[in-house]
Structure formats: C-alpha cells, structure tokens
Amino acid sequence: MSGLIFDLSKDGRRCSAIPKSDIAHRAIPGHLKRDKAARLAQVAEIDLVRHYTALSRQAFGVDNGFYPLGSCTMKYNPKVNEDAAALKGFTQVHPLQAEETVQGSLEAMHTLSEALCEITGMDAASLQPAAGAQGEVVGLAIIKAYLQDKGQTQRDKLIVPDSAHGTNPASAAMTGFKVINIPSTPQGRVDLEALKSVVGDDTAALMLTNPNTVGLFDENVKEIAKIVHDAGGMVYYDGANLNAVMGLVRPGDTGFDVVHLNLHKTFSTPHGGGGPGSGPVACKNVLAPFLPGPIATKEGDTFSLQMPPKSIGRVRAFYGNFLVNIRALAYILTLGAEGIPEAAQNAVLNANYMMEKLKDIFPPAFDGPCMHEFVISIENLKKEKGITAADIAKGLIDRGIHPPTMYFPLIVSEALMIEPTETESRETLDKAIAAFRDIYDLALNDPDALKEAPITTPVGRPDETKAVRNPVLKYEF
Ligand SMILES: *Cc1c(COP(=O)(O)O)cnc(C)c1O
C-alpha cells in the first residue's frame, strides 16, 4: 500500500519555482503570524502525481470491473451523459441568475420532470430532494400536509412491510408518523391478511418498496393499494429500484399516489462513493400543491420557477442537484421510449441468468423468477464449514469482483444480495459465475484458505470492531 503523502515529504521540495517578487515587501504583523510553519507535505510534482495515481488505482469502480452490489444498481453509465452535464451552458450558470437568462436550464429541468412523470405515471414532480431517503421524507411530508389540509390529523400511522428498505421506517419516524410493521409471507410478498388487520381510520399511508429488498415484484400491488385506499389512506411507492421495471410498469397506473426515484441508481449517476445524488418525488394531482419548490414551470414559450400553492417549502438550497438531473435527462433522451424498457428487461434477464446458474450451489432465499437482483443465503455453508457470507465476499475480491451487498436484507440470514445490472455482457456474467463456483469449491475443500481472503489487496481483513471502537481519524505527526 502507498504510504501517506507526508511520508514522501523532504524539506525544500516544491512543485514550482516562483521568481523572486519585485514588489516592495510589507511585513505581516507579528500577531497574525503562525508560530510554526504549516505542516504541509513538501514534494516534487512527479511524486505528487504518482502518489495520487497510485491511490486512484487502489479504488475499485464500475470502470474497473464487475460490481454486483445489490440495491445500489452499480451499472455502467455512458460517458456521453457526463459530457452533457459538463457543457458550459449548464456548469457556468448561477442559481441566482435572472430567469430570462437561464431559459435553457429551466427547460431542461421541466423536460426531466415531464419525463419522470411519464415514466412513473404521475402528474407532477419536484427535483429538489438530493437523495432517495430525502425523497422519502418529502413524499411522506406532502402526505402529512395533505391530511392536515383535509383535517385528518388522526391519521398518524404509517404501515411499512418488513421487506421495505431500511430507510422507509426511518423516514416515517422522522416525519412524525407511528410506524406499523407488517410481516411478509414465506414467498417474500406483503401479507394481505396482515395488511387488512392493521388498516383503519388512523392509517395515513403505506410505504411499499417494489421490487422489494429481496428482489421480488409484489404482484398484489393493485390489491395492496386498494386495501389502503378503501381505508382512506395514501400509498407511497419507494421507486429507488425502478431499474427493474422502468418503461414496463408505472406506479401511477397501479394505484400509487406518490413515488420517489433514485436518479443516482437508475438514471446515470453512480450510486455510492459519497457523490451527489438526486431523489425526485412525483405524485398525483391531489398531492401536487404540496410539493417542495421552486419548480420549473412552462407558460407559453417561457419557463419560470414557481412555488406550488400549498408547498411544504424548500428542502434543499436552490433547485436540487442540477447536474445529476442533467445526466438523468441525457440518459432518458438517449435511451428513449424503446431503450428504457429494454434496459429494465436486460437487468432482470441478467439477474435471473446468474441466479439460475448458481442455484444448485447457492440456493436463492426465495423461489421464482427474481427482478433485477436476487438474494442467496450462505446459512448451509456456515453450518457445515463455518464459511460466512463475508468469506464469500472476500473471496470475490481476489477474483477481481466487487462483493455483493452483505447481511442485507435483514430478514435473510447470511445474506448476499447480487445485482448484476443490464450493462454486463454474458461473458462477464459467466466469469463471475465461475468465480462463485470456484469459491464454493474452496469453501468445501479448503475453508481455511478462504478465511485468508483477500490476499490480493493492500489490506486484508481489517479488524472491523476495532475500526469502529478506536477509529484513527487523523495523522499523528
Ligand atoms: C438506495 C435505496 C434507498 C435510499 O436511497 P439513498 O439515496 O441512499 O438515500 C431507499 N430505498 C431503496 C429501495 C433503495 O434501494
């Protein structure tokens, strides 16, 4: 592993040689001066470049290799979308500029909102939320504002199935609702009887993650929406996993009132790595007056920013993560109405292909065709050989593959959640399948060797407990 930049430091080394100043020198008053020189690394330009290049090579990204990190949709995103987001017309505008000088940017926001409404079957959208979880809070906050507006404040319960993404109950609690958990059936779907037994006059809404966290599409969506609507509640669709269904099924057509999307999964911005995201919220007309704003609106040939009449207000500075939204727009326009469903179909096909080719050794946690991802349980290997989901994940690292999501969803023990995505070729999938099978053989025949993995990385197995309990967060000189 490369050391720290400070380890390379030699007094007097520089990246530049600046000519002596020919301007009269004015001394800085003593009380403004630091006592000691700043502790900056002193290195030559070539060493600096090599240092950071070496660090960048230790990072693993979709551009390096297969990255089947379930729930995160780490697909390859065409570079042309980056080019669109880098256009000067988009990067060199200021959010406080007069509207008539940024008509193109407003049009781009408006066009994206319309496209997202078309894809979700909704009537209006706000691009403000900066992440999926923030979209959830916004979606629930507009439901709350709507209920308050109708004088239905007794509706304070939010129903969340146990197959929901972990952020769902957290968002419900943050928005001030009481969370009612309902169990899944053994097939991994919402238990309709359990749902019927909890809905009532106090139901504000149900939140459904679909496809859910075990990678399954709940085919009872219409029935679920009807049960909740009949009780007077609203239905929220967590659309972070829209990659599996975009262009094929629209939440708005199956009875949902509001949905959030993760543009930084499905629509061309990579998820993870701490970069900016975008979690737009789209809804039906009844909820539209409550959306956060401002929203780019079209009147005649002119675009302007408008606040919806009963808006819950702003949830973020200015207009959301504008350049993430531009990438999404480029992605949607380049794929078009034909390419979007095809991408979803290929995502589902790739996941089912891998699941089928692995199921004799790694049985899926739930039967039947999966959507864009599938969950396997390592429970049996653990019982027989002491091999855990983490061991399999570490073995994959040595074979050039980013591990799948581990120990999630919580309802499956020793879970690995695999999402190949649509952008991988059959050859890549076959190589990954071979790697999984190779690791399985190792687990059976030489489990101790697998416990050593990874052996190809600068760091093997860090002590995770120690890292959490005694984190070293700064360099000790
Ligand atoms: C990723 C994800 C979220 C949260 O999105 P963030 O942008 O990480 O906040 C919510 N729901 C589901 C189903 C997800 O997969």
- Within this chain, do residues 293 and 367 fall inside the same structural domain, yes or no? no
User: What does the radius of gyration of the chain's CA atoms come to, in whole angstroms?
Assistant: 26
- Within this chain, do residues 164 and 303 fall inside the same structural domain, yes or no? yes
Residue 152 belongs to some domain of the structure = yes
251-273 pLDDT tens trace? 999 999 999 999 999 999 888 76
Q: Pick the closest to residue 378 from 407, 398, 357 (CA basis).
A: 407
- Within this chain, do residues 391 and 297 fall inside the same structural domain, yes or no? no
- Give the C-alpha separation, 104 to 65, whole Å: 37
Residue 475 belongs to some domain of the structure = no
Q: What is the pLDDT of residue 213?
A: 83
- Within this chain, do residues 384 and 329 fall inside the same structural domain, yes or no? no
Residue 241 belongs to some domain of the structure = yes
Q: What is the pLDDT of residue 128?
A: 97
Cβ-contact 103, 301 below 8 angstroms:
no
- Within this chain, do residues 119 and 243 fall inside the same structural domain, yes or no? yes
What is the number of other CB atoms lying within 10 angstroms of the CB of residue 336? 10
Q: Pick the closest to residue 243 from 109, 350, 364, 319 (CA basis).
A: 350
Q: What is the pLDDT of residue 37?
A: 86
* Atom number, ligand 1, closest to the C-alpha of residue 136: 10
Cβ-contact 71, 408 below 8 angstroms:
yes
- Ligand 1 centroid to residue 428 C-alpha, Å: 26
Strand 405-406 relative to strand 415-418: parallel, antiparallel, unpaired? antiparallel
- Ligand 1 centroid to residue 259 C-alpha, Å: 12
Q: Which residues line ligand 1 (CB under 6 A)?
A: 71, 131-133, 165, 167, 209, 238, 240-241, 262, 277, 279
- Within this chain, do residues 269 and 414 fall inside the same structural domain, yes or no? no
Q: What is the pLDDT of residue 273?
A: 63
- Within this chain, do residues 273 and 343 fall inside the same structural domain, yes or no? no
* Atom number, ligand 1, closest to the C-alpha of residue 213: 13
Total tally of structural domains belonging to the chain: 3
Cβ-contact 194, 183 below 8 angstroms:
yes
286: which DSSP letter? T
Residue appearing with tokens 């009147």 = 299
Residue 66 belongs to some domain of the structure = no
- Within this chain, do residues 447 and 393 fall inside the same structural domain, yes or no? yes
| Predicted TM-score (pTM) of this structure | 0.91
DSSP string, 109-176: HHHHHHHHHHHHT-SEEE----SHHHHHHHHHHHHHHHHHHTT-TT--EEEEETTS-THHHHHHHHTT
The pick from 138, 165, 207 for probing ligand 1's pocket by mutation, whose C-beta has the most ligand atoms within 8 angstroms, reads: 165
- Give the C-alpha separation, 34 to 413, whole Å: 56
Domain boundary among the residues 312, 335, 358 is at: 335
Taken in order 457, 459, 465, 468, is the CA torsion positive or negative? Answer: negative
Residue 71 belongs to some domain of the structure = no
- Within this chain, do residues 210 and 156 fall inside the same structural domain, yes or no? yes
Residue 68 belongs to some domain of the structure = no
Domain boundary among the residues 335, 369, 385 is at: 335
Local confidence pLDDT in tens for the 477 residues of the chain: 468 899 999 999 998 888 988 998 888 999 999 999 888 999 999 999 999 999 988 889 999 999 999 999 999 999 999 999 999 999 999 999 999 999 999 999 999 999 999 999 999 999 999 999 999 999 999 999 999 999 999 999 999 998 888 899 999 999 999 999 999 888 889 999 999 999 999 999 999 999 988 888 999 999 999 999 999 999 999 999 999 999 999 999 999 999 999 999 999 988 876 678 999 999 999 999 999 999 999 999 999 999 999 999 999 999 999 999 999 999 999 999 999 999 999 999 999 999 999 999 999 998 889 999 999 999 999 999 999 999 999 999 999 999 999 998 888 999 999 999 999 999 999 999 999 999 999 999 999 999 999 999 988 998 989 999 999 888 887
Cβ-contact 221, 401 below 8 angstroms:
no
What CATH number does residue 262 fall under? Answer: 3.40.640.10
- Within this chain, do residues 217 and 117 fall inside the same structural domain, yes or no? yes
Report which protein residue has its CA nearest ligand 1's atom 14: 240
Domain boundary among the residues 335, 359, 381 is at: 335
Residue 474 belongs to some domain of the structure = no
For residue 103, the enclosing domain spans 79-335
- Within this chain, do residues 345 and 325 fall inside the same structural domain, yes or no? no
- Ligand 1 centroid to residue 237 C-alpha, Å: 12
- Ligand 1 centroid to residue 136 C-alpha, Å: 9
- Ligand 1 centroid to residue 340 C-alpha, Å: 20
Residue 65 belongs to some domain of the structure = no
What CATH number does residue 423 fall under? Answer: 3.90.1150.10
- Ligand 1 centroid to residue 78 C-alpha, Å: 22
Q: What is the pLDDT of residue 25?
A: 86
The pick from 134, 208, 262, 265 for probing ligand 1's pocket by mutation, whose C-beta has the most ligand atoms within 8 angstroms, reads: 262
What is the number of other CB atoms lying within 10 angstroms of the CB of residue 446? 12
- Within this chain, do residues 92 and 156 fall inside the same structural domain, yes or no? yes
Strand 234-239 relative to strand 203-209: parallel, antiparallel, unpaired? parallel
- Ligand 1 centroid to residue 164 C-alpha, Å: 10
Which class for 42: exposed (0-12), middle (13-18), buried (19 or more C-beta within 10 A)? Answer: middle
Report which protein residue has its CA nearest ligand 1's atom 12: 240
